[in-house]
């Protein structure tokens, strides 16, 4: 006898099944002239982060990175390699960070309290949000 399974997790009434789905979030480490662009947010937790956002259904991390940076910073970017494996933000979200370069535009602050270019020497002195810290270490090695 074969078990009856739902077509998708959305049609399954058991919340335990649904809780296993983890949504990818992509941060973007935009590098220019040996510095990296970071964004300061004030809520829900204040701190510096790599700008980005959730990967929508049907998108790759690179697609989401391009879309989010266009929306948040009014930039066109070329997305490069990942800075390492994903980091769990919570039981629902996993953060991935991709390196990128600017193809056109200058950063425009739309959703964050502040934008700033950091040198490698400043990276360790910065109040990064906890999920971004492992990627800062990886980024320092390639700047």
pLDDT value of residue 74: 97
In a domain, 12, yes or no: no
> Roughly how many angstroms between the first and final C-alpha of the chain, as a whole number?
57
Torsion, Cα 109 86 79 105, to 10 degrees, reads: 0
Would you write out the chain's pLDDT as a tens digit for each of its 143 residues?
Answer: 444 434 434 434 444 444 458 999 999 999 999 999 999 999 989 999 999 999 999 999 999 999 999 999 999 999 999 999 999 999 999 999 999 999 999 999 999 999 999 999 999 999 999 999 999 989 988 88
In a domain, 106, yes or no: yes
pLDDT value of residue 13: 45
In a domain, 15, yes or no: no
Cross-strand partners of 98: 28, 82
Total domains in the fold of the chain: 1
C-alpha span between 9 and 15 (Å, rounded)? 9
pLDDT value of residue 141: 85
pLDDT value of residue 21: 83
In a domain, 134, yes or no: yes
Look up the domain containing 90 and give its range: 23-142
Phi, psi of 126 (to 5 degrees): -95, 140
In a domain, 7, yes or no: no
Per-residue burial over 68-105, b = 16 or more CB atoms within 10 Å of its CB, e = otherwise: bbeebbebebebbebbeebbebeeeebbbbbbbebeee
In a domain, 16, yes or no: no
Domain CATH number, residue 48: 3.90.79.10
In a domain, 88, yes or no: yes
pLDDT value of residue 20: 59
Cross-strand partners of 52: 27
pLDDT value of residue 142: 84
In a domain, 3, yes or no: no
Please choose, from the candidates 12, 9, 102, the residue with its C-alpha nearest in 3D space to the C-alpha of residue 57.
Answer: 9
């Amino acid at each position: 006898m074969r078990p009856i399974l739902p077509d998708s997790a959305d049609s399954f009434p058991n919340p335990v099944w649904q809780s296993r789905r983890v949504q990818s979030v992509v941060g973007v480490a935009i590098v220019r002239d040996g510095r990296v662009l970071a964004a300061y947010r004030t809520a829900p937790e204040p701190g510096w982060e790599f700008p980005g956002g959730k990967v929508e259904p049907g998108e790759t991390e690179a697609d989401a990175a391009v879309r989010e940076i266009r929306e948040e910073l009014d930039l066109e970017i070329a997305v490069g390699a990942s800075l390492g494996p994903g980091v769990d933000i919570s039981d629902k979200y996993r953060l991935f960070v991709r390196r990128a370069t600017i193809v056109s535009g200058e950063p425009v602050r739309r959703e964050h309290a502040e934008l700033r270019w950091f040198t490698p020497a400043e990276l360790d002195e910065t109040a990064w949000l906890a999920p971004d810290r492992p990627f800062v270490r990886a980024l320092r090695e390639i700047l």
